[in-house]
Chains A and B, each alone.
Chain A
Amino acid sequence: MKKIDSKIPAGPVPEKWKEYKAHQRLVNPKNKLKLDIIVVGTGLAGASAAASLGEMGFNVYNFCIQDSPRRAHSIAAQGGINAAKNYQNDGDSVYRLFYDTVKGGDYRAREANVYRLAEVSNNIIDQCVAQGVPFAREYGGMLANRSFGGAQVSRTFYAKGQTGQQLLLGAYSSLSAQVQAGKVKLFTRYEMEDVVIVDGRARGIIAKNLVTGKLERFSANAVVIATGGYGNAYFLSTNAMGCNCTAAVQCYRKGAYMANPSYVQIHPTCIPVHGDKQSKLTLMSESLRNDGRIWVPKKIEDAKKLQEGTLQGWEIPEEDRDYYLERRYPAFGNLVPRDVASRAAKERCDKGFGVNNTGLAVFLDFSESINRLGIDVIMQRYGNLFEMYEEITDVFPGDVANEINGVKYYKPMMIYPAIHYTMGGVWVDYELQTSIPGLFAIGECNFSDHGANRLGASALMQGLADGYFVLPYTIQNYLADQAIWPRISTDLPEFAAAEKAVDDELTRLLNIKGKRSVDSIHKELGHIMWEYVGMGRTAEGLKTGIQKMKELQKEFDTNLFVPGSKEGLNVELDKAIHLRDFFTMGELVAHDALSRNESCGGHFREEYQTEEGEAKRDDENFFYVGCWEYQGADKDPELIKEPLEYEAIKVQTRNYKN
């Protein structure tokens, strides 16, 4: 079996990053001017990396599929960003953030990476404040914090319900400064279609100019992908419409390992699915669980009436409500991690306690907090989320609806779990380098820090940690001896071959000339993924899922219809390429889920659960990172294991009860 070198530095866990930085190779200022770096993506990870690398002196080529780097999907993150500042004096520390993240990830993350993440978390907050990010403040002028799932301290920094937007605009502003300085060249409405490998190293990319339709070649000394996750393989998710995994999957086809693809996060608080015309699901921030209480009726007959529409949530008095998270997890209550909250909602709905016409929804209720704190305080905290909820559902959660025995009841939100984030992704070592030398992956698109489940407010932390504070160091260790080479020419046969392969694919897709639109097939793939590779998985179901995906892929290959041509803007053609790669990724998720005969974090195999319905891990057999190597289009991928080693934390059963 192939061996994997994760390049984790020696020494005790808290010293590793310091040691690494003290001894890594650096690139001198003059050589930096000779080195080109391609950064694909302008989300938190991509923009912060491009800005930092440009500022250091490298020549950066930064690509995004949107019309502006400011529109990357990081912008939609609502709740906040974690850091171990301990400004609240509630006992937080780097170690505790590290511990919570490892535990939250169900002991499936790499200790060394997570410690480094917790360590640099404080620098991120300092950096962002210096950029002018308007984080929420207390009356004394200090920064404010709130709590998020999986933690007993308040360590989440926030900017209303728009934290991702503000952090991204901060990174975008630094990026813009570097564009102005001439160190970063921006390519907007460009999509990476392939990575070009020369002599075993990543030396460039083939990108499609989405407006002209032309394929273009770009060479560089290193390629960084920061292209996000693969949540849209499920069709309905909280991801933006354009989110796709084409860049990552293309790297996988060229030899980069894909790690832990089965770790997919299902977010517990999203607006429920309402019909078959829906294009995406909308998230309601986890921060709502600070003051909102999740419940379903205690009596099945009440649930039946709710489903028929003959009873409303606010007509059910306190004593007939089952606050099931508070009941099952007294220590963390409504603030249990996302995987736990999602499964608990599914459990109640599977038992028939769902509260809307589809039976797939639970209540998120603010009555108690509004009665305690007043509507003004609640509106200040969540006003924009309440308004967003009203725009979509026509119900305003701040409206009083009923009074029973002197207690006011407000209209509750209805929520249900939805695909939100992918912990799995391109395998990277400690330096964030993939298994292809010279190819790096940062942000959501790598697998590195969240184990089997990501805690809320940690995605922003990881994206910015990778981009500002980790990659700009580690990439130098790779680039240190690269400045002696002359610039790679894009006339090399490797570039020509890669471009031709992409072009042939475009021709193939256009020439199928079948009957079905991209979206209609994508929707069907999404149903298969959600049904068989979703919240509750079984060996039998996964095998069926893989079979159904293969059949549907045949339909895609023979009956797809893409209008238009290769020349000029062709949205449908671009979507077809994305869908081709969602198939590859979807199957890979299923393969990984099938091989992992345990339940952990976001990966729940129904065969492996405790009597109380909690995830049952098998540390003896599955204490490893599952890395998948591509073997060709018609072959199953091969599993390579990277064993996990823990020294700072004792591996135990996750407990949020007491």
Chain B
Amino acid sequence: MAKNISVTIKFWKQNGPKEKGHFDTHELKNIPDDTSFLEALDIMNEELIGEGKEPFVFDHDCREGICGMCSLYINGTPHGKTLRGATTCQLYMRKFKDGETITVEPWRSAGFPVIKDCMVDRSAFDKIIQAGGYTTIRTGQAQDANAILIPKEDADEAMDCASCIGCGACVAACKNGSAMLFVSSKVSQLALLPQGRVEAAKRVKAMVAKMDELGFGNCTNTRACEAVCPKNETIANIARLNREFIKAKLAD
């Protein structure tokens, strides 16, 4: 049975990438603890609108942990502390204590400028994928799907790497603002499959170069990224990216 709790939301307000931001606070009273955290923010916004104020802006969409849109830094952790790998939208009020103050901030990274409040611009991730995160094949008469057999273990591992939702929590958590976990997950998925091997060398070089160009930092193995990844991507991917990268460079 749900019980009700009251909390204080301390949330980040910022009008644009160049503007100075500040915290506002709002008291939420008697919220059923089976309410999701984003629903609690909905309630807060309803109350703000009721007072004639502008609502707090944050990104969200599917609210089932898969679209990668939601991106809040909650009490110092990207996506907050959930049971196991989960996104902001899968966080429920039962994870908070009655009377608690919950601090909500945007992803803070040079690669993700703030658009408004906690909504940030993550188009840098799209640019990295555009640099090479694909197999170059035409729509049309691809060969039969079973023509190349793929060991189950390889397919399963590729699937795990492919589970990345591109939310950017890894970048937000990293003291260097590195995008290595994101990039390595895509590189790994395609490196593990025969379909992706053909362009593997070209891909890893292009994606790493783009990542550097866009101002993401280096990886220093602090493992902060994997600790917060909602899809449990691991730094084994980063090790694989490094191997792929060295292999590609040696072949030059």
Residue of B35, B82, B115, B189 near A569 (CB, 8 A) is B115
A-contact bits for B146-173, CB 8 A (1 contact / 0 none) = 1011111001101100110110000000
Q: A327-385: which residues lie under 8 A (CB-CB) from chain B?
A: none
Min CB–CB distance B193 → chain A (angstroms)? 5
A159 touches B159 (CB 8 A): yes
Closest A residue, CB atoms, query B138: A55
- In whole angstroms, how far apart are the Cα atoms of A211 and B123 in the complex? 13
- In whole angstroms, how far apart are the Cα atoms of A485 and B38 in the complex? 50
A166 touches B162 (CB 8 A): yes
A569 and B57 in contact, given A127-B139, A132-B135, A519-B42 (Cβ under 8 angstroms)? yes
B155 touches A137 (CB 8 A): yes
Residue of A174, A242, A282 near B139 (CB, 8 A) is A174
Min CB–CB distance B80 → chain A (angstroms)? 12
- In whole angstroms, how far apart are the Cα atoms of A397 and B137 in the complex? 42
B123 touches A73 (CB 8 A): no
A-contact bits for B1-16, CB 8 A (1 contact / 0 none) = 1100000000000000
**A234 on interface, CB distance cutoff 8 Å:** no
Residue of A125, A129, A241, A520 near B61 (CB, 8 A) is A241
A241 and B35 in contact, given A143-B145, A520-B46 (Cβ under 8 angstroms)? no
Q: How many interface residues does B have (CB within 8 Å)?
A: 81
Q: How many A-B residue pairs have CB under 8 A?
A: 222
**A155 on interface, CB distance cutoff 8 Å:** no
B142 touches A141 (CB 8 A): no
Min CB–CB distance B63 → chain A (angstroms)? 5
**B118 on interface, CB distance cutoff 8 Å:** no
B155 touches A136 (CB 8 A): yes
**B96 on interface, CB distance cutoff 8 Å:** no
Interface centre among B2, B39, B163 (most CB of A within 10 A): B163
A517 and B49 in contact, given A274-B2, A392-B90 (Cβ under 8 angstroms)? yes
Contact stretch, chosen from A64-72, A101-109, A216-224, A297-305: A64-72
Min CB–CB distance B57 → chain A (angstroms)? 6
Min CB–CB distance B71 → chain A (angstroms)? 9
- In whole angstroms, how far apart are the Cα atoms of A66 and B121 in the complex? 11
B146 touches A75 (CB 8 A): no
Min CB–CB distance A280 → chain B (angstroms)? 5
Interface centre among B86, B132, B134, B148 (most CB of A within 10 A): B134
A162 touches B163 (CB 8 A): yes
**A439 on interface, CB distance cutoff 8 Å:** no
Residue of B130, B143, B150, B155 near A126 (CB, 8 A) is B143
- In whole angstroms, how far apart are the Cα atoms of A358 and B28 in the complex? 26
A394 and B63 in contact, given A136-B155, A275-B35 (Cβ under 8 angstroms)? no
Q: B4-63: which residues lie under 8 A (CB-CB) from chain A?
A: 31-32, 34-36, 38-39, 42-43, 46, 49-50, 52-55, 57, 59-63
- In whole angstroms, how far apart are the Cα atoms of A100 and B117 in the complex? 49
**A443 on interface, CB distance cutoff 8 Å:** no
B-contact bits for A471-493, CB 8 A (1 contact / 0 none) = 01000000000000000000000
Min CB–CB distance A598 → chain B (angstroms)? 35
Closest B residue, CB atoms, query A69: B126
Q: A17-55: which residues lie under 8 A (CB-CB) from chain B?
A: 48, 51-52, 55
B136 touches A177 (CB 8 A): yes
Min CB–CB distance A561 → chain B (angstroms)? 7
A571 touches B57 (CB 8 A): yes
Residue of B143, B152, B158 near A141 (CB, 8 A) is B152
**B111 on interface, CB distance cutoff 8 Å:** no
- In whole angstroms, how far apart are the Cα atoms of A140 and B148 in the complex? 11
**A135 on interface, CB distance cutoff 8 Å:** yes
List chain B residues, Cβ under 8 A from A176. Answer: 126, 129-130, 133-134
A131 and B162 in contact, given A87-B146, A569-B57 (Cβ under 8 angstroms)? no
Min CB–CB distance A348 → chain B (angstroms)? 23
- In whole angstroms, how far apart are the Cα atoms of A159 and B145 in the complex? 14
**B141 on interface, CB distance cutoff 8 Å:** yes
B82 touches A134 (CB 8 A): no
Residue of B67, B126, B145 near A73 (CB, 8 A) is B67
List chain A residues, Cβ under 8 A from B55. Answer: 563, 571-572
List chain A residues, Cβ under 8 A from B35. Answer: 275, 277-278
B150 touches A211 (CB 8 A): no
Interface centre among A68, A69, A162, A242 (most CB of B within 10 A): A68
Q: A83-125: which residues lie under 8 A (CB-CB) from chain B?
A: 85, 87, 123, 125
**B131 on interface, CB distance cutoff 8 Å:** yes
**B208 on interface, CB distance cutoff 8 Å:** no
List chain A residues, Cβ under 8 A from B177. Answer: none
List chain A residues, Cβ under 8 A from B49. Answer: 517, 561, 563, 572
B115 touches A240 (CB 8 A): no
List chain B residues, Cβ under 8 A from A85. Answer: 145-146
**A186 on interface, CB distance cutoff 8 Å:** yes
**A142 on interface, CB distance cutoff 8 Å:** yes
A129 and B65 in contact, given A277-B35, A277-B43 (Cβ under 8 angstroms)? no
List chain A residues, Cβ under 8 A from B136. Answer: 177
B54 touches A131 (CB 8 A): no
Q: A257-295: which residues lie under 8 A (CB-CB) from chain B?
A: 274-275, 277-280, 282-283
Closest B residue, CB atoms, query A131: B135
- In whole angstroms, how far apart are the Cα atoms of A52 and B193 in the complex? 23
A67 touches B59 (CB 8 A): yes
A-contact bits for B196-213, CB 8 A (1 contact / 0 none) = 100000000000000000
A278 and B152 in contact, given A66-B69, A85-B145 (Cβ under 8 angstroms)? no
Closest A residue, CB atoms, query B59: A67
- In whole angstroms, how far apart are the Cα atoms of A143 and B115 in the complex? 43
- Partner-B contacts on A (CB < 8 A): 48, 51-52, 55, 66-71, 73, 75-76, 85, 87, 123, 125-143, 159-160, 162, 164-166, 169, 172-174, 176-177, 179-180, 186, 188, 211, 240-242, 274-275, 277-280, 282-283, 309, 387-388, 390-394, 468-469, 472, 517, 519-520, 561, 563-564, 568-569, 571-572
Contacts A71-B67, A136-B155, A563-B49 aside, 13 further interface pairs with beta carbons under 8 A come to A68-B125, A71-B69, A132-B158, A133-B162, A135-B155, A137-B151, A137-B155, A139-B152, A141-B152, A179-B130, A279-B42, A391-B92, A393-B34
The 6 closest A-B pairs by CB, nearest first: A141-B149, A173-B134, A130-B142, A126-B142, A134-B159, A134-B158
Can you list 30 A-B pairs, Cβ within 8 angstroms, ordered by A?
A67-B59, A67-B122, A70-B126, A75-B66, A75-B68, A76-B64, A123-B140, A126-B141, A126-B142, A127-B137, A130-B135, A140-B149, A143-B146, A160-B159, A165-B165, A173-B135, A176-B126, A179-B126, A180-B131, A240-B63, A241-B63, A242-B61, A277-B43, A279-B36, A391-B65, A392-B92, A517-B46, A517-B50, A568-B116, A572-B49
